[in-house]
Chain A
């Protein structure tokens, strides 16, 4: 799969508008469900209002009502000619999913491993995986062992100094692999 090369132009064609109906409807449904979910959560919040007549549940109810309304309105817009005054998004028309998977893997593994393997190794791993995805997305050579090695070294060269700078000079707590404070 290669990234799409056609880009949206300012005046989208009827075909493009038709293709956008479902994604836009889904966005509307997402907002609607968020609104309803927030309303469900608001039921459990106390309404003790004191002097003001406005309790801790006022804003949650307001937010859920408005979001539900906005979601409904968006669904209507999507089904009746598409979102209004929509600027064509930048970049390719079709998403390049393999790249997204690589970058997501980098970010999620970083989140899962940072406390056990330390900031430097975890971030270097995130860097290596993300750069793989980004290289593939831009059509650069990516799979060769040499590229992996270069990326790994670059990742360590960024993560290491960042770790030392923030922990040593700025006294921010970041997890290390050892307790020496250097790795």
Chain B
């Protein structure tokens, strides 16, 4: 009953008029950035990070999480109606959703995406509510060696497993770690890589890196390479699902949620794997020959419902490792962690005791936000679609103004704006040569924390790395890290051997 009481107290905090308003503004803004091409939730939260200086912590975290999952709803609208998906998370939705829209069923696709997101988001929130406190209780028992290994696991999955090329993933991760090194060392207060520039003593702001890599790089990339890219917009039809659509969608939503939730919980981030898995599963499970034939041709509704639910479940469940362990598994959760840090709060097992009001208000706001988003996205979808009419040049130039607010507002330094430009150029190179960006952000935020844990762990072991192998939990984690690195390669190697034999 403790959890129930805590959740009710959370609702009491979350339903104050001010917090409800923050939630609504966050959800609306999130939907808008999800719909608009060029900016995603990570950059929207990053650009607004300066508000952490003035706005109270509960209000701003409710606001940021509204943006975070609102963008997932908005993203599906763009991927269904335009021929270019806004982000990797909606790539799978784009495959079938776009085909449905082309054959005049945009409304049904939008409806199944929005309702599916609601169902999955709500179920995953219930799971967060029930499980996060237990994970936190368990996590209290973890020491520096385990924390370091958990972070190592996050580094490994984000750089070596999720991307296409381990080499480029590793490079991106270590560039992020290098950026995290700049400034004063946490433990010894030694200055590192500051080059005598006083602005760098405080380190490089995460806002700069996120806004530079995502917003400025996007604008520069668009002007360099995508000026002539023509986008076709599909016609919006009435947002309505027939009885048959419901019958086909409901099991797909539930399966998608079941696939997505565990992926969000483990520090192996990313929505690509669960959404693709869900898509593959729906395609395989389609029994009716007529439904099966729709995949890849006129668009099958299960192919939108499943992946969309998996996406939202993953995104919501990703709050479990963030809140209980302080480990972000994606760009946006990494920046949310940055927002907590701006308040001097380090998410982790103690969060549920030291900042119980904040955590439970945040969780309660997830329930409220999901409901708000359903309303914002079903009857009002026509309004959001109008955003797609903003011409690209004006939209992208406008993004630069907001980028300036984020980058300059953080510490009022014009130097940061030059740095922002340099990071933007780096982002263009990374995109052109197919380097993943998530490892940079995760490496930069988690790097200093991992370093501190490593040094604490080594102090516990009195200078011996054996400390990582002597404790049952840490040796388990070592084995998992090794397995994550080795198994995918082994799996690739074995079938090819069999073919040879």
Contacts and interface: CB of A to CB of B under 8 A. Distances in A.
A5 B227 CA distance: 10
Nearest to B393: A134
Interface stretch (B132-140, B346-354, B409-417): B409-417
A19 interface: no
A143 interface: no
Interface in A152-175: 154-155, 158-159, 162, 166, 170-175
Contact of B417 (A54, A84, A107): A107
Nearest to A102: B223
Interface in A107-144: 107-108, 110-112, 114-115, 119, 122-123, 126-128, 130-131, 133-140
Contact of B171 (A67, A97, A131, A138): A67
Contacts of A173: 409, 412
Nearest to A104: B421
Contacts of A67: 171, 174-175, 178
Given A60-B192, A83-B434, A127 B401 contact: yes
Given A51-B459, A52-B458, A108-B421, A85 B397 contact: no
Interface string B161-174: 00011011011001
Contacts of B224: 91, 95-97, 99-100, 137
B190 interface: yes
Query: Which of B190, B228, B402, B456: most chain A CB closer than 10 A?
Result: B228
Given A56-B192, A59-B447, A138 B392 contact: yes
B188 A48 contact: yes
A109 to B, nearest CB: 10
B382 interface: no
Given A52-B458, A53-B458, A130-B400, A162 B405 contact: yes
B228 A111 contact: no
Contact of B188 (A41, A56, A170): A56
A54 B454 contact: yes
Nearest to B429: A27
B219 A103 contact: yes
A123 B165 contact: no
Interface in B451-468: 451, 454-459, 461-464
Contacts of A3: 225, 227-228
B177 A59 contact: yes
B167 A41 contact: no
Nearest to A86: B434
Nearest to A142: B393
A77 B220 CA distance: 27
Contacts of B219: 103, 130, 134
B50 interface: yes
Contacts of B379: none
Given A46-B190, A70-B170, A111-B414, A126 B227 contact: no
Interface of B: 50-51, 53-55, 164-165, 167-168, 170-171, 174-175, 177-178, 181, 185, 187-188, 190, 192-193, 195, 216, 219-229, 392-394, 396-398, 400-402, 404-405, 408-409, 412, 414, 417-418, 420-421, 424, 429, 431-434, 447, 451, 454-459, 461-464
Given A27-B433, A130-B223, 17 more contacts: A46-B190, A49-B463, A53-B458, A56-B187, A58-B451, A59-B181, A63-B178, A67-B174, A74-B171, A83-B433, A86-B164, A134-B223, A137-B227, A155-B397, A166-B50, A172-B51, A174-B405
Interface of A: 3, 5, 23-24, 27, 31, 34, 38, 41, 45-46, 48-56, 58-60, 63-64, 66-67, 70-71, 73-74, 77, 83-87, 89-92, 95-97, 99-100, 102-104, 106-108, 110-112, 114-115, 119, 122-123, 126-128, 130-131, 133-140, 154-155, 158-159, 162, 166, 170-175
